[in-house]
Amino acid sequence: MSDKQEPTVDVGDEWTEELQQNRAEKDEFLNEHRQSPIPPDHRDEFDGLAYFDPDPEYRVAATVHVFDEPETVELETSDGRTVSYNRVFRFTFELDGEQYDLHGYRQAEDDSIFVPFRDKTTGQQSYKDGRYMDLELERELQDGDSIVLDFNLAYSPFCAYSETFSCPLPPEENWLETTIEAGERSPPF
């Protein structure tokens, strides 16, 4: 018997409610919090972010490949600098009958896994420089484990709202040749 846990991909009303609550909380933060990336002169006109409709088809099981010796990679940023991350995982998943890979990155001081990506909505229906997902791990992942990637949680980086922020750009290895109509759409201004 294996101690590897299979993720639950099934969704129901509770998943949709949690997703809607997450979106409402983000809109409130962007509209009211003093650390909001939305410039104060745009907040009066801000009426919430635009999202793709919740779609369980974009909540997929992914097989984990762990890099035994994570490589340090330099990700370009929106302001022309670079930032260092360790490439720690590769996630392999299927979408619409095709197989794809995304890499997960971690900075030394961070426990969460950073998954920046571009897809065929980038610059059309979603932010021009790509979107992000963050994975909060409940346990250390091992080769062959399976986790859920929920693209409904994909979000635009802060630099989508203000040029005063510097944001890592998705590296070419995380450019998906498919359309991910889930998560945040293009910023409202």
Furthest C-alpha separation in the chain: 59
**What long-range pairs does 23-31 form, CB within 8 A, spacing at least 24?**
23/48, 23/49, 23/51, 26/155, 30/161
Asked whether residue 3 carries a pLDDT value surpassing 70, the answer given is: no
Give the domain ranges of the chain. 13-174
Q: Say if CB 146 and CB 174 are below 8 A apart.
A: no
Place 11 in a pLDDT band, splitting at 50, 70 and 90: low
pLDDT in tens, 82-116: 999 999 999 999 999 999 999 999 998 788 999 99
Tokens of residue 189, six digits? 């201004």
Q: What is the pLDDT of residue 86?
A: 96
> What is the pTM assigned to this prediction?
0.90
Q: For the residues 117-141, what does the mean pLDDT come to?
A: 95
Q: Which of 87, 84, 49, 51 is nearest to 68 (CA)?
A: 87
Q: Is the pLDDT of residue 67 over 70?
A: yes
* Span 19-41, average pLDDT: 92
